Amino acid sequence: MIDGAEVGGCGDAIPTVSEASVWTSYDGRIVKRLVVKGTWNGSGSTPQDYDRCQVSVSHARWRGERPTSHYLPSSPSAEITLSVVISEAKSGIDRLIERCLRRMWRGETCHVELDGGVVEADLSLLSLAGGVPVYEWGHKKKFNKAMEHKRIAQGMIAGGMTEEAVVHYRRAVLLLALGRPLQRQVEDKEQQAGTRGKSEEWVVAERNVADAERERLFRTVCNNMALCRIKLKQPELALQLCSKVLRREPDNVKCLLRRAEALRMIQEPADALKVLEHILALEPNNSEAKRMTAEVRKEVSRQNNMSAQLAKKMLSLGVDTV
């Protein structure tokens, strides 16, 4: 079973019929003011993951240069109508717009202020084409969508957009963590057709292959996300991700190197040294591990010297160090 890693919703509650005309997101980054009330018909009235929406954006303005966005018009005076697929935003502003859309009912128009008024715009949810819920997708569909998010993330890393890359890695992990559909009969038609007439042994073998494929991608994505967390100076999150990988593959050298780096960042050089020694036992000629080991040994020595000096000073003051 694949467990989630840094996954979860946006933290905003689902709207209700009694929703106030002004709503502020839990993190304060969005203020939404109702202009025209939409129609609530129960489930399916608000956009969910991977639903396709027709959206109108108008009266947009921003401070300074236009932010990176596929959803905002090219100029403040322009009005655009576009198709938005929820969870596929590729910039920070567009993700905030998607969070607004998740709070809107079909037919609703609202005025939004994003990031303290850095961006303002009128949004109209013109139509909503809800699909099959993500948890009912077949393995192949979830796997392919996770691969798509991984490719987007890799492109963002190449462009120096590390924080944006993390968002897509998280989306990939969420898809992979969902595993197989909750209902077997909801498998993709293609998958159903492929197994028709096959033996039970063949079907089980194919499912085992699919599970192994999903596990490999899960490890890769967590490993890559750990590197992003290190670049973002977030070693605790990097360590959590490394643990998920190493629990499944204890000798994953790439992940062990990232774990050692994260341990150094939280001032635990002795633990980092143990990890590096394990790497060198696996790969004696690993140049990166050799370089890091030399550096970490100096860090351990400095830490030991500082501890010894502190103990000596405490003893001179008559403080019990036991």
Residue 307: predicted pLDDT: 73
Residue 7: is its pLDDT beyond 50?
Answer: no
Cα separation, 226 vs 62, whole angstroms: 34
Specify the pLDDT at position 173.
94
pLDDT at residue 80 tops 80: yes
Give pLDDT, residue 210: 74
| 109-114/52-62 β-pairing | unpaired
The pairing of beta strand 80-85 with beta strand 109-114: unpaired
Nearest in space to 49 (alpha carbons), one of 167, 131, 146 = 131
Please tell me the pTM assigned to this model. 0.75
- Over range 133-156, report the average pLDDT: 91
Rounded to an integer, the average pLDDT of 287-316 is 85
SS3 call for 202: helix
Q: Which of 87-101, 127-141, 143-157, 282-296 has the lowest mean pLDDT?
A: 127-141
Residue 13: pLDDT band by 50, 70, 90 thresholds?
low
Q: What is the token pair recorded at 217? A: 């991608």
Distance CA 56, CA 104 (A): 13
Q: What is the pLDDT of residue 183?
A: 41
The lowest-confidence range among 232-246, 270-284, 306-320 is 306-320
127 membership: H or E segment, kind and range: strand 119-129
Task: Give the residue-averaged pLDDT of 99-108.
Answer: 93
Percent of all residues in the chain with a pLDDT value above 90, rounded to a whole number: 65
Q: What pLDDT sits at residue 59?
A: 94
CB 15 within 8 A of CB 46: yes
pLDDT on residue 16: 45
DSSP state of 106: B
Among 1-5, 23-27, 180-184, 192-196, the least confident range: 180-184
Domains and CATH numbers, the chain: 22-131 (3.10.50.40), 135-193+201-263 (1.25.40.10), 267-322 (no CATH)
Q: Name residues whose C-beta falls within 8 Å of residue 199's C-beta, 6 or more positions apart in sequence.
A: none
- How far, in Å, are 158, 163, 197, 257 from residue 153 at the CA level? 9, 9, 39, 21
Average pLDDT over residues 48-58: 94
Q: How far apart are CA 112 and CA 22, in angstroms?
A: 10
Q: Which of 265, 275, 270, 259 is nearest to 303 (CA)?
A: 270
